[in-house]
Amino acid sequence: MFTCSRSINSKEPEPTYPIQGTFIQLLENSHGQWSENEWIIFFSYLKKLNISDLYLQWTVADTHSFFYSSTFQTVKLPPLETILRLAEQFEIKVNIGLVYDYEYWNQISNNSDRVKIYLDELLIRSKLAAEQIKSIAINYKSFKGWYITEEIDDLNWRLDDKRELLFSYLERLSDALEKLTPGYQIAISGFCNGQIEITEFNKFWDQLLKRTKINLVLFQDGIGTKKLTFSKLPGYLAAFKKSAIDNGRNMGVIIEIFRQIDGYPINKNTFNAVPAGLLRIIRQRQIASKFSYNIVAFSIPNYMMPMAGSSGNALYNKYLDDIEKRTNP
């Protein structure tokens, strides 16, 4: 006769992975004027949160560059080199975004002829930015690769002709990036409004990956903007992951750590959001952890850092307590 401390039918609890990365949206009137000390403080917070990957969503915002450039308008204190240097010191990897065009969402809603002209022009600007950034980035071990700034949704690319334009754009851009910096990561993110069949969603991403050199795809969970619900999210994540696995690509999940309070579709005001509650974020992490250990926040600088105000500071401290308890129960 023997005793067992654990029932043979019991299961190990599924892991809830911590947040591994975060996005930052560089802004001219703040990050474009930060001192070295402000960036040191920023990276100190990321290190305390055990963040290992930083995604610069863009390094050119419309016409303003966050690196010294001869063709774009350079901001007052271009931070790219400072970010790469400090990231190296703090042992954080950096994925560098390219050109953010303020008219992107308006432009891609146009007819195919106009979308083609727009994407061809955007490709020229993005390749030009990448070529200038390369001379800076390759000098730092913190440089992990590229992030393609254009977010891919499930509504604007439903027509076959427009879908082909998107695939062609991403094929040409990812080819250029791979040739520019062989072996470096090329990432992109997408989201879903829940208005596409899951099988069609899987087919779309399967086709996209077959055409491109993109090797990391990130799925935005849409919980903060209520694009998806907790009940619908797993189905789309499963389809997204299958397309990544079938094409031999890496996959991660972006969790929205905010709660939208203004902007479309809530009202006609400008987009505004506040930090989400910790319990909701834990639930997001639990779902994301079923599909990937690579959990990325959107975004710690805005919603979970002392420099994000009192509510950001409160969430920062609560999250630190939570991951401490899970690490040392």
Q: Class for domain 21-327, per CATH? A: alpha beta
Kindly report the number of other CB atoms within 10 A of residue 119's CB atom.
Answer: 22
Question: What pLDDT does residue 136 have?
Answer: 97
E strands, the chain, in order:
21-24, 53-56, 60-61, 64-65, 73-74, 93-97, 99-100, 143-147, 185-190, 216-220, 250-256, 258-262, 272-275, 295-298
**Beta strands 99-100; 60-61: pairing state:** parallel
SS3 label, residue 4: coil
8 Å CB contact between 280 and 257:
no
Kindly report the number of other CB atoms within 10 A of residue 324's CB atom.
Answer: 10
8 Å CB contact between 302 and 26:
no
Question: What pLDDT does residue 4 have?
Answer: 42
**pLDDT digits (tens), the chain, 329 positions:** 333 444 444 466 789 999 999 999 999 999 999 999 999 999 999 999 999 999 999 999 999 999 999 999 999 999 999 999 999 999 999 999 999 999 999 999 999 999 999 999 999 999 999 999 999 999 999 999 999 999 999 999 999 999 999 999 999 999 999 999 999 999 999 999 998 999 999 999 999 999 999 999 999 999 999 999 999 999 999 999 999 999 999 999 999 999 999 998 889 899 999 999 999 999 999 999 999 999 999 999 999 999 999 999 999 999 999 988 877 77
Question: What pLDDT does residue 328 have?
Answer: 75
- The one-letter amino acid at 151: E
Domain boundaries, the chain: 21-327
What is the Cα–Cα distance from 304 to 311, expressed in whole angstroms? 8
Rounded to 5 degrees, φ, ψ at 259 are -125, 115
Rounded to 5 degrees, φ, ψ at 94 are -120, 130
Predicted TM-score of the model (pTM)? 0.94
8 Å CB contact between 126 and 99:
yes
Question: What pLDDT does residue 2 have?
Answer: 36
Q: Which two tokens stand for residue 259?
A: 């709660």
Question: What pLDDT does residue 14 have?
Answer: 84
**CB neighbour list of residue 83: distance below 8 Å, 6 or more residues apart:** 39, 54, 56, 94
Rounded to 5 degrees, φ, ψ at 216 are -135, 125
Q: Where on the phi/psi map is residue 31: left (φ > 0), alpha (ψ -120 to 50), or beta?
A: alpha
- Average pLDDT over all residues of the chain: 95
